[in-house]
Amino acid sequence: MFSFSSIEQYQEQLKSGSSTCSEAIQFYLDRIQQTRHLNAYTQVFAEEALERAAFLDQKRATGEPLGKLFGVVIAIKDVIAYKGHSLTAASRILEGFKSLYSATAVERILQEDGIIIGATNCDEFAMGSTNENSVYGKVLNAADESRVPGGSSGGSAVAVQVHTCMIALGSDTGGSVRQPADFCGVVGLKPSYGRISRYGLIAYASSFDQIGLFGQTIPDVAKVLEVISGKDEMDSTSSRLEVAPYTNSLKYESDKKYRIAWFPEALEQESVDPEISQAIRQLLESLKEQGHQVEPVHFEYLDYIVPAYYVLTTAEAASNLSRYDGVRYGYRSNQPADDLTAFYKQTRSEGFGKEVKRRIMLGTFVLSAGYYDAYFTKAQQVRQALKDKTNLIFKDFDFILLPNSPSIAFPIGEKMEDPIAMYLADIFTVYSNLTGTCSISLPLFRHSSGMPFGLQVIAKAFDEVSLLRISDRLMRSK
């Protein structure tokens, strides 16, 4: 009889014969069907997943060595390539396209006997904070179906939230894993830039993008992170640093006292929900009483984070999305065109959604002659200043604690007509992407409205071991 509380417990069931991979897949397929109205999935690989489960059950029965992710059921965001399967980035422009290869992260999951159960809905080309910018329609938050699940990886967050998979992969360019994790009450990890290969991840902003993970527990997230991390010859930006045994590292956590920083400018902002601020302050006080060093750190760059982020990411997006022209693959306009330029314009105007077009135009503007130095160069200088300030902070502290969002999940449609308000909602998450640090959203709190919200913990780049350790401690003590 299948039941799931953790990957470790599940794999013990498989080894003892008290459950099978086939039972697990059938359970999750039934859950997907029961929660279909939430619109979390763009595709479900039902037949394929059942066949792979049967293959893995046979492998166990014959006594063959089993992979680290044996039988683990994983969903992937519809921006991550899986050979022979549709890959659309929730956009009309990639209508009918099937991937010719698999992302490195997917390959590593399959090599370790994992099962990919489906592709999850998202904001088009990962551009959005609500999962309302999708050609497949909006995703609903299971905690309150009148509210957004967050974005852009909202489908992945909801897939874990309603137990349709054990782990889901998303992508995080400016908070697209942590913010939906916050809104949906699950764990959401953004590793350091370069920790996981970006090969096979559709590019939004190449110097920001990073594959991230959603799960219910820290050990589960750590186990999958350990498998998919590491150097990849197909991605020159992937780190050559050794990948630590993340799962085992959790077992050796002691009563170590940490040095924790927090930004008064963040918790004292008028836009922050008083309950969010109060909950984090109470946690900080509790950590201090436990003997940790907890101190406020003045952070003078907070107001510059969002403008710098949107200047740089839209510039990179304008470049990356120029390849979608309707000539070689994807959507192609049927309207007659006088020349190739007119054809491109028609195809891209019809194929891209409103938010994607807005960001392409903004990026093209900041890269244009006469504005490049005023916007793009200045934003790069802000990014460097942020990195320098962050490096100084991490000389004296182990972690930075922040909210993920100024508010809990907001009603569907509330911010769609005000893109500036939408962009400003990313104020606390884009910081980690600008600096390349690793960060996580932990589902520790409950609002008086009944909605969940989380704590964002940030550690220095490539210190996922410490980040996972403190995260596990905080989750166990909640």
Q: What is the pLDDT of residue 105?
A: 98
Whether pLDDT at 421 is above 90: no
Span 406-414, mean pLDDT? 96
pLDDT digits (tens, 9 = 90+) for 101-124: 999 999 999 999 999 999 999 999
How does residue 3 score in pLDDT terms, banded at 50, 70 and 90? confident
Report the distance separating Cα 408 and Cα 182, nearest Å.
8
295-314, pLDDT tens digit by residue?
A: 999 999 999 999 999 999 99
- Written as one letter, the residue type at 75 is A
Cβ atoms of 187 and 181 within 8 Å: the answer is yes
- Show Cβ contacts of residue 118 under 8 Å, excluding neighbours closer than 6 positions: 32, 41, 42, 43, 44, 45, 49, 75, 76, 159, 165
For 288-319, b/e burial (b = at least 16 CB within 10 A) is eeeebebeebebebbebbbebbbbbbbbbbbb
Residues 206-232: pLDDT tens digits? 999 999 999 999 999 999 999 999 999
Q: Model confidence at 275, in pLDDT bands (50, 70, 90)?
A: very high
Confidence of residue 1 (pLDDT cuts 50, 70, 90): confident
Mean pLDDT, residues 121-150? 98
Q: Is the pLDDT of residue 83 over 90?
A: yes
Of 35, 343, 339, nearest to 184 (Cα)?
35
Give residue 63's region: left, alpha or beta (phi > 0; psi -120 to 50). left
Among residues 152, 153, 197, 239, the one annotated as catalytic is 152
Instruction: Assign 445 to helix, strand or coil.
Output: strand
Answer yes or no: is pLDDT of 419 > 80. Answer: yes
β-strands 211-215, 187-190: how paired?
Answer: antiparallel
Share of the chain above pLDDT 70, in %: 100
Average pLDDT, integer, range 81-97 = 98
The question of whether 257 is a catalytic residue gets the answer no
pLDDT tens column, 323-335:
999 999 999 999 9
Q: How far, in Å, CA of 217 to CA of 150, rounded?
A: 20
Task: Write down the pLDDT at residue 255.
Answer: 83
Give the residue-averaged pLDDT of 405-425: 90
Number of H helices, E strands in the chain: 17, 11
pTM comes to 0.97
User: How confident is the model at residue 409, as a pLDDT?
Assistant: 98
Q: Do strands 438-446 and 452-459 pair parallel, antiparallel, or not at all (unpaired)?
A: antiparallel
Mean pLDDT of the chain: 96
Condensed to tens digits (0 to 9), the pLDDT of residues 20-73 reads 999 999 999 999 999 999 999 999 999 999 999 999 999 999 999 999 999 999
Q: Tell whether the model's pLDDT for residue 425 goes beyond 90.
A: no
Residue-wise pLDDT for 162-197, tens only, equals 999 999 999 999 999 999 999 999 999 999 999 999
Whether 197 is catalytic is: no
77, 138, 223, 460: the catalytic one is: 77
Above 80 in pLDDT, residue 252?
Answer: no
77 tagged catalytic:
yes
Q: What is the predicted pLDDT for the residue at 130?
A: 97
pLDDT band of residue 253 (cuts 50, 70, 90) is low
- pLDDT score at 82: 98
How many residues are listed for the chain in this entry? Answer: 478
